[in-house]
Structure 1
């Protein structure tokens, strides 16, 4: 476990990366995303932050509170329903107009739901899209900005997907998007493992960028608001018991910021000659973390809430031997192409 004082000390040194860091927080209008965004704003010099979410009222509050934490911070809200990739693409285009580089992408979008498969107009399940497709789409769309960040001072470039690293289970390789075999449990299994392998696939292709997937632990985030009333009542009853095992809001934000920025999790090939390319320099006695494949400097990392390496090594190794990483990559890129054609058709229909 990375001690909390080490976390705080590392985050305080984030200022060493200089002014003007650019960050994108998707799902940051509540919960873990909000907590991490505020920690980032508090510990950086003149950052530019883009906050993507659905709740404009919450965004206004967060922007005001960020101004109180750091008067030099610029936080801009982009409203988007990222249960649809069309909305992801629209948000990315807005960011591309404003920024040539992005140093950090943190994605926490998601919800707790007992619903069965709920398809969007693109033919994708909305929960699956929140947990997986939208996240990969943001990264894929904004790779040019991430690459530029890795080549310009401070050469820092990283993405973090906060979901369920370490909670991997077997998946159905013949129905990766769960078109015909959807359940909530299978959705969790698929999106967690696919986040793992896409971190590895991106890292292999983009050695100047770190790709991380973390598990935040039990955190009271408000995600239960979409549950039916009986489930919300039941959850409220057991919350006092669960609170004994929960990670607090401030600690969650600080720990996810640490995972997002610490040099413990460097890219495979950071720019030489600058220690900041790997992230915030390591404190004395702290060593580099092993990547998801068990190797130091792999560029892809699976991280538990407390900063330690995690992951179902046996399962992941078995799937690696089957080439599942390539399978997941090809499936994902294929789905992006399929959805793009569907959305082109939607535009044509709307204008005809």
Structure 2
């Protein structure tokens, strides 16, 4: 799992070593949580399909749900990140004419592995679930200790919360199984991103140091300057890549906002306390303390929170105007995906995509 840019085995071991244990539980209680999460995930499929009107494409792989602990999530994501980022490393080597040894010495695969491990350790205690798009692909991951910890801290009904989380993640599963071209599209954007890059090892090293330095300041409680690097995306913030970033932001905002819309849209018949869940969970996403909020900012998680908000605004705005069936035109092709500026102005998308027809 090692590459010239990041030693992923070091990242995996570091994240496991730094990771915090989940909430204390008995073996019997843990088994009951795992069983209920599997049941909620299976039950969510019919609810999501009924609300969205979507079904998996013919020949789509049978969905697999895996209930994991924090180390299990780390293992899955080091594999996924390696599958996504190692080709970037190779492309940079080819583009700059550097040999693998030279790039490894410039950046330090083991050092960046430790840094990546620290990031994964932090995120592994926050994430509730995900649908694996890259790497092994096709699995729905539910992180049991994080779900239990969140429902305890929020003081919400455990069954409702578990169903609510599963509705969100199953929506992602349906998006990528109903429209397999989405994964190909995202992979092509990564390739396009690399082709647009003019990074060389020296620039990459300097930017990495800036971000890690800011992250260290946050951990020590120092204030973050307004001009500090904007999360890990500061590593790849070349102007030539902005168009690619805008396209990726738009599609990720769509898939996240669509999932947000669905998990609330099934209504109280499925999740009786859905309004309470939304209100309390919105506070959780802001971070629990100043260091936590700074870490979220530096890791780019604040940008992800904005994707949830913008995407949900877009989906709700289009559905309110034209209904769910017409909204589903958004999944037809790359040309029907929303543009970044349309996320906050759904009528512009309606005018561009639907009005001609």
**Same fold? TM cut 0.5:** no
TM-score by length of structure 2 reads 0.25
Q: Give 1 or 2: higher strand fraction.
A: 1
Query: Which structure's residues are more often helix, by fraction?
Result: 2
TM-score of the two chains, using structure 1 as the length reference: 0.26
* Largest Rg, 1 or 2: 2
